[in-house]
Structure 1
């Protein structure tokens, strides 16, 4: 018989019944397995910089100003938003905590091993400065306006800026400070430092102050270029620019008050009416008479000499003034009298504000000498100012070739190109007249007066100059549809700045007239394919190479041809040797280390420079592409300027590297 099928009711009853023990065992096994898998997953890793930050907060933040610092797993994550914390490559590199009423010590911050900027200004921090020597990446330290005590740190990393002013530090300044060979700022004013500073010799210093301390001795020659105010209120300090140091006075020997101890008492008679007294009186009258006679004789001789030489001196002075005036008028004139009679002044754009005679009458000031001649600033009688270049040792195929080249150059009109206003051609004299650029050239701005009192070239200005010069050179390369125009001599002395600070390219096309020896003076900018061995002519690609070197000069603050321990080394090769694997602070100009969030922009501009200086000519970009790449740099238009550079230690909140 077939087995009876269970009814629906019995099935429903079985379904509602409790599970058997074997089923419970299976469920427990599954639960245990799930818990085991959960424990096998490692917990999220704790950021290595979190503990030092939280430790500092717990000991110093009594006012809870750092409420955004929470037990987050990653202070560098964008969602964490730790106040005053900046990161690079997921490590804390900047800590700017100012005016936050922070108390206590800050030793725990020394565990932030990748820290580059530390600014704790205007707080209530106490205790000695902890050992910072292990923070090898640290470059900027600002601890001013606290209550920090103790002595000067015995050892420090290779800093660029150090501000310990307005604290309670004491003791002497260690000689190890001279090891900071890249130090730009050293602010120690209003502390209690003592001892000598004569040993200080840090050639890179640009911002220094040790006023209101107790240092003594002589100011070293390396610091004598700073103003008197940075040494004031140090009572025992001397030397230029303060009062001259004097040798200590030796007190006179102590003698007995007894008359018998005086060495001259035995020689002087006690009777004042003796003959000796009479002779002494006569002798005095004779001496007075001799002095009066000598004065009269000297006066008479002086009058005779004045009458004889005075007239002659006046004539010489008159002649000298005439020679100076004539020299100013003919500073860029030919030595021969008839040279100008054979030439003519040619103007462009139909503007003829002056004649050749006006140039000859104008006062001239030499601006500089180059491989092609000498440039002058000429002020005409009506106040109009122009720049005149007197070409010298130029090689031309004749008057017609020269005039054709001038016609091409005179037609170039662009805001970033120095306009050729007129020219003069004669057999023995060639003059070019340009617009006068009031702000000088890039070379002077970058390399001039690298010492105390210098006004550095800020980052946004450098970026603006790079963009302007690139635009001007790109216009030169593309202005003609019939021929390929070439500049041929791109260098920092040929990048001029107008009254608005716009970069303008000058001396365009003049390299075609230069003798072979003149080109060697710009060897640091010359493309490798233009070596003297192959005698190849300049091309637009060689212009691009020279512009790449110019960008490196802007970024590093170094001249194209450098002299180091290994001899003369060109700038592109030096950059490649310093930064083969990653960008380091040693590549960029120390004066750029005071600007916030520009490292990425500098690296982008350096990549453009490296592509321009490629050894393979075909791999170099065109100038149009270079202009686009520069304008594509993040913040090229918005990068903040720091017009108060010399007061940078008073504004560390805007400082980052």
Structure 2
């Protein structure tokens, strides 16, 4: 070093060296994001405002660049959804954004392994659902992310074990891993903060951890799991027996093979036959490639002008399918038909898009006519169909968003500490609305044997005032028959299980099971079985309780506001049992059930004589103790 030169002569060199050793000292957020953009492909004009010539990404709390969320003049979040993006998510560049807390790249076309996102140690929310990521995630893939609260990785091709580091995140509240290829056992989640863990449709097996036992049973469908909220695990002794038998059998086979090989090698005549060159037959080389399901919104964008929505309601404001695909999307869940998404369109209205893949045997005109008929339905307790999109491979049905979710989520999802369950007046309001909506469907779809066909708690949605809205109704004519028989509630009924037939009273049976579920808080376990439902587990349990000796054990302990309402609750319980009567001849008609439900009140009458009579044999409720005769009904044919 030339000591004769003044110290300020070396400042540019020192500054350059500092930038080389620590780039964040000299890079702006705009420069960081522009470098991140260079790793992306297929973004088209959507990121044109990401440029160095215009204003920076944030000015105050107002973002200037597409998909950027700002706080106090700094980048707080990145939300690049429904853009068909490909390329690489460069985490090393993103980690230079010191205030970055939320990241969403949902509904794009990213491929390859899971990015090293645990470098973003301050991240709170991560959305990577509906891409084509694949391969295993390292066990420590989420290590150190102590602020992470929500993780959405559903609808990808991830495989291997679920990373145990997820089970150690102290603030994790929502985890969505459905429709991947995760395998093995579920890690032992112990966070009190968990409110939703969706592991449906993977390759998982074994018992469900205790901390997840209060989740919705549908969150574990499509695996080989057991234990609450699913049926109880079978004895491990049987498994040990099977393992021992398998080991012994394999040992005997191996010994036999060794003996055979030894015999062949000793006999020169036989051995010579194995030394002859094999003659290859021409034309036998066939390569079978894997066809992966395209689950990203970009799949529909490639359809171009043919990808149109058909509106079935004249009074509704029109929008295009592309408006839905460009909107901010949230995965609501996946059921027996497909997945559901919430999309907020440009006018601020929230819509729900449901994808149906089990309708490919329906012709275009037949489907359009049936959807038009459903679109003409209008009732306060029936969720209105707004529009649909037809393709032979799958269909989209668009309806309004119900802000309070489903009845199933309120009955069966784990609640935050101190948050009460549905009280008795609210539950009564819900079942009254359900009965009215079902009666309307019976009147308007009178030519259908099953006007609803899929009545269950997850298909009862709730609006702002907890008014119920029936969903997924009237679909049996357009659903593939085999799939309907496997999954739809009507085909879990006793009459279909025993005689392969349904009737107008089948929806009444579903209503009865729904009433028992509403009152007991217990999920009908037979709904989880594919194919015929067999005996109605929930109805059988209720019947066994009242036959042994009446106790308050039958009612949901989380149901508040029951004081002075026990008599009315008992009446509704009896209505439910009369509706799910095994013998169809004794089962009530819907009209009779609706009349009895309408008579119910929040509170008991002061006069015991006001209690209504029930059933064909005229049993009457009084102030006396409840006995077996009050609830007698058949659960066997």
TM-score between both structures, scaled by the size of structure 1: 0.46
TM-score between both structures, scaled by the size of structure 2: 0.48
